[in-house]
Structure formats: structure tokens, C-alpha cells
Amino acid sequence: MLKQKPGNKTSADAPHPDADEKPDSPTELTKRSWKYVLRKTVREFSADQCTDAAAGLVYYAVLALFPALIAIFSVLGVVGQGDAAANAIIGIIQDVAPNAADTLREPIEQIASSRGAGIALVTGIALALWSASGYVGAFSRAMNRIYEIDEGRPFWKLRPMQLLVTVIAVVALVLVALGLVISGDVTTAIGNALGLGQGVQIAWDIAKWPVMLFVIVFLVAVLYYATPNAKQPKFRWISLGAIIAIAALAIATAGFGIYVANFSNYDRTYGS
């Protein structure tokens, strides 16, 4: 059961959380209820200091970036796709932030070209996952703040959960990376091996985008379900909050790309 903030009282005429008259989904809300929900959302967004939480998540995301890349490229390297994934990532950076691509090219290529085997490979992936799990921990603290609850789980329960979610996130990102690099000659070769010819390439070029979107939706659902110290009624593949989060991420990414392409100059800002 969720804890209540000190001094935060429930209105006398508010229904019980499990009352039958409460709507089960946003589609059951009336127009008047939607206005209340929007006002309450804005008020709670400010009260929970969500912009500060977002800034903290960006900080931990930057710290987790290269450990996560090490884990992803290590896994992709096992199946011989490490270099292709590196080229795909560099290509995306080149399109979004051309001035930053030259700076990031060398470390990304070094990570992708590093090879390990046996215990060294497993140890490297484990250390990378441990470092990358810092983002999951930050996400968990942010969700607890939004749910207005304290973190009461012991370390021996909390840390394995964070590592498991990190593993799921890395696997999801590996699938997205494979979706980006498996095209052209690779899909043609698979189609020829299966006797399907060019049809496989055409089908995959169309299907890979909804598949990758599904993977991202699944990852957001896992973060929403597993990270807060709250007992969730059931696992939900998609929710209104997840839709807003994914839409906001897409808009922010597009906005950042427009900003970098038209208004920024890394050489003047940081020197060359």
C-alpha cells in the first residue's frame, strides 16, 4: 500500500481507492474529471520536483552510456555484429550532431573493436552491467518520489532487481541495435538461404520499425513495473504515462536534432 506524505490529507468526500465508482481506465473519465486530472497532474509534477528528477536521470544516463555500450558491443561481438553496430551508431550521431560525431567516433570504435574471451568477457560484461545499473537505481528513486513512498527494500533484494532490469534493458537495446544493422546484404543472404529471395529484405525493412517500437514500449513497461517500491496490481504493456513518456522522448529527440542542426556550433562552444 502506498504511503502518504506527512500532512497530506485526503478530501472528506473522496472515494476509497478501491471503490467501485472509481474508473478502471482513462477512457472512463468524464470531461470534468479530465480537467481535474490535468490540473492535479501539473500540481503534482511541480510538487514532486520532476524536472530535478529528469535532470538526475540525464546525469546517470550519461554515466551509464559507455558501460552500457561496452556490454552491448560485447554481446554483439559474439555474433559478429559489433563493428556493424558501431558504424550504425556513428551514422546516427553523424546525422543528429555532425560536430560531435568526430569526437565520439574514436571511443565508440575502440569499445567495439575490443575483444575478450571466456572469463575476461564475462567479467567485463558483469562490471559494465553493474555500472550501467546506476541509471535503474536513479529511475527507481524518481518513481518512489512520484508514488510518494520511501525505499524500504533491503539491499539484497533491491540490487539484484536493478541488475535484472539492467540486463533486460541491455538485451532490449541489443535487439534495437540488431534491428538497425541487420539489413541489406544480411537480410538478402537470409532470404536466399530460406529460398525467399528479396522478399525477406522488403518485409524486414517494413517490419523492423514496429518491432523496435514494441521493444522500447516493453522496456518502459518493465521500468514502470519493477523499479518503484510499490506493489503493482498487474504488469501493463502500455499505460497513459508510458505513452506520454515515449511521445515526450520522441519530441525531445526531434527537437534536439533540430537544435543541433540549426543553432549549435560545438567548435565555437567547446573549442576545437
Residue with C-alpha cell 537480410? 187
| Predicted pLDDT at 175 | 78
Pairwise pLDDT comparison (268 vs 149), residue with the higher score? 149
168 pLDDT more than 60: yes
**DSSP secondary structure letters along 162-224:** HHHHHHHHHHHHHHHHHHHHS-THHHHHHHHHTT-TTHHHHHHHHHHHHHHHHHHHHHHHHHH
Contact yes or no for 71/132 (Cβ under 8 A): yes
User: 195: pLDDT confidence band, cut at 50, 70 and 90?
Assistant: low
| Predicted pLDDT at 9 | 40
| Cell numbers given for 214 | 514494441
161 pLDDT more than 80: yes
| Portion of the chain with pLDDT greater than 70, in percent | 64
Q: Which range is least confidently modeled, 26-30, 147-151, 222-226? A: 26-30
Pairwise pLDDT comparison (149 vs 259), residue with the higher score? 149
Q: Identify the helix (H) or strand (E) that includes residue 92.
A: helix 82-96
266 pLDDT more than 70: no
Pairwise pLDDT comparison (1 vs 45), residue with the higher score? 45
Residues sharing a CB contact under 8 Å with residue 130, sequence separation 6 or more, in sequence order: 67, 163
| Predicted pLDDT at 120 | 56
Average pLDDT score, the chain: 73
What integer is the mean pLDDT of 216-235? 85
45 pLDDT more than 80: yes
Give the torsion sign (CA, 4, 136, 240, 44): positive
Contact yes or no for 77/169 (Cβ under 8 A): no
What integer is the mean pLDDT of 139-164? 88
Tell me the pTM: 0.67
Pairwise pLDDT comparison (184 vs 147), residue with the higher score? 147
User: 88: pLDDT confidence band, cut at 50, 70 and 90?
Assistant: confident
